[in-house]
Amino acid sequence: MTSEEDKYFVSLGMITYGGSFVHKLGHALSSADFMNTSKIKLAFPEYWNKYLEMGKSQHKKEGTKNE
């Protein structure tokens, strides 16, 4: 499956950069248990991959702000 870290990055990317549907999907993902996380990843693999990278990038930006 996927790590909690990846789930965090995907939801962060979706919430930060997604349109209205993807933004809400990111919030749903942040609250999802293991089974529902799996369902989201299987239903929207293109979003998962796209927003995983965006979330990692956003996380790095936020980390450098605090330094």
| Domain ranges (residues) in the chain | 4-65
Distances (CA, A) of 49 to 4, 65, 66: 15, 25, 27
Band (1; pLDDT cuts 50, 70, 90): very low
Residue 7, amino acid: K
| pLDDT per position as a tens digit, 9-61 | 999 999 999 999 999 999 999 999 999 999 999 999 999 999 999 999 998 88
Supply the Cα-derived Rg of the chain in whole angstroms.
11
- With the C-alpha atoms ordered 30, 35, 22, 56, is the resulting torsion angle positive or negative? positive
Report pLDDT for 62: 82
Q: How far apart are CA 60 and CA 57, in angstroms?
A: 5
